[in-house]
Amino acid sequence: MIVVNTELVPGREVVQILGLVQGNTVRAKNVGRDIAAGFKNMVGGELKGYTQLLVESRRQSVERMIAQANELGADAIVNVRFTTSAVTNGAAELYAYGTAVKLMSMNVGTVQSAPISDEIVGE
């Protein structure tokens, strides 16, 4: 699955638009992270636990979006966007959405099949 947040995929042509696919997740921070964050709020600096939470949420929502696109038989998801909303105190929703499309490879040199794995590497 090719996942990009541009409207086009380099070297490929969109032949069919399958529609909007989406994935979301609502994650709550846990008490341990809360206490650590409380201390960090005195001295400042990066909240590594919360960054990790954000990474996990993003990965989860993208995975769910990819699963939906796979069901539609898509080759790629284009124009991916993220948005967040605060559901309740201490829990945030991360929502990923994009357009699932079918691609045709263009005749430019030797076109490789997509070397991108489904796993989106973080960090």
Residues 6+ apart with CB under 8 A from 23: 60, 61, 62, 63, 64, 65, 66, 67, 68, 95, 96, 97
The nearest distance, CB 99 to another protein, in angstroms, is 13
H/E element holding 22? Answer: strand 12-28
Binding interface with another protein (CB under 8 A) = 2-12, 29, 37-38, 40-47, 50-51, 53-55, 58, 62, 76, 80-92, 94, 106, 108-112, 114-116, 120-123
The nearest distance, CB 1 to another protein, in angstroms, is 9
The nearest distance, CB 71 to another protein, in angstroms, is 19
Q: Is 18 or 29 the residue whose CB approaches another protein more closely?
A: 29
Q: Is 70 or 82 the residue whose CB approaches another protein more closely?
A: 82
The nearest distance, CB 31 to another protein, in angstroms, is 14
Indicate if the alpha-carbon torsion angle 83, 123, 63, 86 is positive or negative. negative
